[in-house]
Structure 1
Amino acid sequence: MNASGGKLAPEVRAILDAARDRPGGETHLSVDSRSFPAAVAATADAGRVPIIAEVKPTSPTTGGVRDDDPVELAREMVAGGATALSVLTEPKHFGGSVESLRRIREAVDVPVLRKDFILREAQLDAVESDLVLLIARFVGDDLPDLVAAARDRGFRPLVEVHTRDELTAALAAGADIIGVNNRDLGRLDVDLGTFEALAPEVPDDVLLVAESGVKTTDDVRRMREAGADALLVGTAIMDGDVRQNTATLTTPQ
């Protein structure tokens, strides 16, 4: 495996090191997944912005810990208009768990993305979800096999990229849902121009998600104008009233 793609910030390196040690599931999953593309299309047809709202108790790039019941947070996000949910299952650095994802998916009727640092096939079997995140920089040459393994289980893989080379690798692996992360995992800084630079190179038949750095309705408009079919938003929703924050970002200005 050729993972990491160069220098990583110490916080990210620690997350990756911890991920290598986490076990996978004992049973090969078979998931009847909810359709994320259909949910995005339905939201757009209703005149709203498709938002993946993220249940993120904490992270290395945010201060403090949100200790509300994750199920209640998820319900509030859906009530605010979230098209889908992203649920952190990384325990050590983000306060997530597979049990939280399991409970949330049982409580809502929207697609749920498992956001974690999956490095090998067995880790796909830890918990059922509708989508799984695969980070191109971390899995390297294993990306095509992991995309295929995810689909074999019924998951829809969302492949995250940050550079042109990673985008090329994602397209070669057959990814049809791609997230462009505006955060540089080497320096942890955020630049919305990253999405704007890569979006024109993504084929029209690929569902494109803008990730990281979206804080305001102006940011939402900027990413949508650049070609985002959906946006993944964490901190800007978790910081305060999650229902109201979600509703604000999903309402066109």
Structure 2
Amino acid sequence: MILDELVRATRDNMLKRQLDVSLSDLKAKAGQMPVQINFPFEEALHQPKISVIAEIKQASPSKGQIIPVNQFDYMSIARQYEAARVDLVSVLTEETYFKGSLDILKSVVKSIDNPVLRKDFTIDPYMIYEAKVAGTSAVLLIVAILDDVQLSQYLHLADQLGLSAIVEAHTASEIKRAIAAKARIIGINNRNLKDFTVDFKNTARLRALIPEDVSTVSESGIQTREDVALLEAIGVNGILVGEAFMKAKDKIDMFKILTGGNDD
């Protein structure tokens, strides 16, 4: 199962990082940082038009190397996103399969004004403190890899640190668990993380299960203006787009295509 391998790799890499920076050290650093009580990531999702979360990643388990290593200029990509006036930015930090890193995340956060999501397989409070110290505005919590106690605890910790959390679900039962945990943002993943197949219609099936006061983000498989229009029609607040942006030579133009030229 791919998801099990991702979690195992995430834990192994996290344990290596803990040899250099302890949890107590991270907590001390986080305690010295201001808490963003206005939750800018959530504010960006509360607007009339659909919000765009543009992703920075160079590889994935399903696609392999999306961008050649020698062409992965993540700083340039971040600047292009800012120039395109995307609403939010997501940075993959998983090291083994997505070839991301905390260093990439920290550099992006420092270089742009957009709220930034640390996208990773969060399996321990340590990773939430890492995200805070890196200066991010949000973390990803995947329902499929957390039990109900962890989900509630991690949401509470993120809240205490002034971080938003996208609680990601793929099924109706996972949506119910996210709501029970009091998630303020629910991400509907159109990709099944167990086999990495993509079903774009998954968002349409699950959107109706989410209360109107909870922001909804559609993730994976979004490629065209027509895709976005369908999501707008069912009241999705935001879209998370990775591969389409990564493969686009002109990311500003791709943003205009997806949003129908609406860059206001």
| Pairwise CA distance, 1:120 | 1.1
Partner of 1:35: 40
1:59 and 2:68 aligned: no
Distance in 1 (alpha carbons) for counterparts of 2:225 and 2:246: 16
Provide the rounded CA distance (Å) in 1 between the counterparts of 2:225 and 2:85: 15
State how far apart, in whole Å, the 2-side matches of 1:188 and 1:65 are: 15
After superposition, the Cα gap between the structure-2 partners of 1:168 and 1:107, relative to the gap in structure 1 and judged at 3 Å, is same
Give the alignment's Cα RMSD to 1 decimal. 1.8
Aligned to 2:167: 159
CA distance in 1, matches of 2:176, 2:261: 32
Q: Are the equivalent residues in 2 in contact too, given 1:58–1:95 (CA < 8 A)?
A: yes
State whether residues 190 and 201 of structure 2, in contact with CA within 8 Å, keep that contact through their aligned partners in structure 1. yes
Aligned residue in 2 for 1:131:
138
In the TM superposition, what is the alpha-carbon distance from 1:128 to its structure 2 partner? 2.8
Tell me how far apart the structure 2 counterparts of residues 76 and 15 of structure 1 sit (CA, whole Å): 29
The residue aligned with 2:185 is: 177
Point out where structure 2 has 5 or more consecutive residues left out of the alignment: none
Contact 1:49 1:251 in 2 (8 A): no
The 2-side partners of 1:212 and 1:32 are apart by 30
CA distance in 2, matches of 1:122, 1:140: 17
> In 2, Cα distance between the equivalents of 1:138 and 1:128?
24
The alpha-carbon deviation at position 31 of structure 1 amounts to: 5.1
Could you say which residue in structure 2 is the equivalent of 1:15?
6
CA contact (8 A) 2:45 2:215 kept: no
Q: How far off is 1:62 after superposition?
A: 1.6
* Correspondence for 1:247 among 252, 256, 261: 256
Aligned to 2:211: 203
Secondary structure, aligned partner of 1:27:
helix
CA contact (8 A) 2:144 2:169 kept: yes
Q: What amino acid is aligned across from residue 6 of structure 2 in structure 1?
A: I
Residues 1:215 and 2:206 are matched in the alignment: no
* CA distance in 2: counterparts of 1:14 and 1:221, whole angstroms: 35
TM-superposed deviation, 1:40: 3.0
Alpha-carbon contact 1:215-1:236 (below 8 Å) kept: yes
- Residue-pair matches, total: 240
In 2, the alpha carbon distance for the partners of 1:120 and 1:224 equals 34
Amino acid at match of 2:254: N
2 CA distance for matches of 1:108 and 1:32? 19
Distance 1:250 1:49, change over 3 A: farther
- Asked whether the 8 Å contact 2:57–2:91 carries over to 1, the reply is yes
Q: Distance in 1 between matches of 2:136 and 2:34?
A: 7
Q: What is the percent sequence identity of the aligned residues? A: 32
Checking the alignment, whether the CA contact within 8 Å between 1:119 and 1:139 is kept in structure 2 is yes
Give the match's secondary structure for 2:86. coil
Q: What pairs with 1:23-102 in structure 2 (closer than 5 Å)?
A: 23=15, 25=23, 26-28=25-27, 29=30, 30=33, 32-33=35-36, 35-42=40-47, 44=48, 49-66=50-67, 67-102=71-106
Q: Is the 8 A contact 1:31 1:129 kept in 2?
A: no
The alpha-carbon deviation at position 203 of structure 1 amounts to 0.6
> How many Å apart are 1:125 and its aligned residue?
1.6
Please, which runs of 5 or more residues in structure 1 have no aligned partner?
1-8
Mapping 1:115-130, distance limit 5 Å? 115-126=119-130, 127-130=134-137
Question: Are the counterparts in 2 of residues 81 and 250 from structure 1 also a CA contact under 8 Å?
Answer: no
Provide, for residues 28-63 of structure 1, a one-character-per-residue CA deviation record: whole Å limited to 9, x for no partner. 224544512322345x4xxx5411000011111124
- Residue 252 of structure 1 deviates from its aligned partner by 5.4
Residues 49 and 249 in structure 1, CA contact (< 8 A), matched pair in contact too: no
Name the SS of the counterpart of 1:219 in structure 2.
helix
Tell me by how many angstroms 1:171 deviates. 0.9
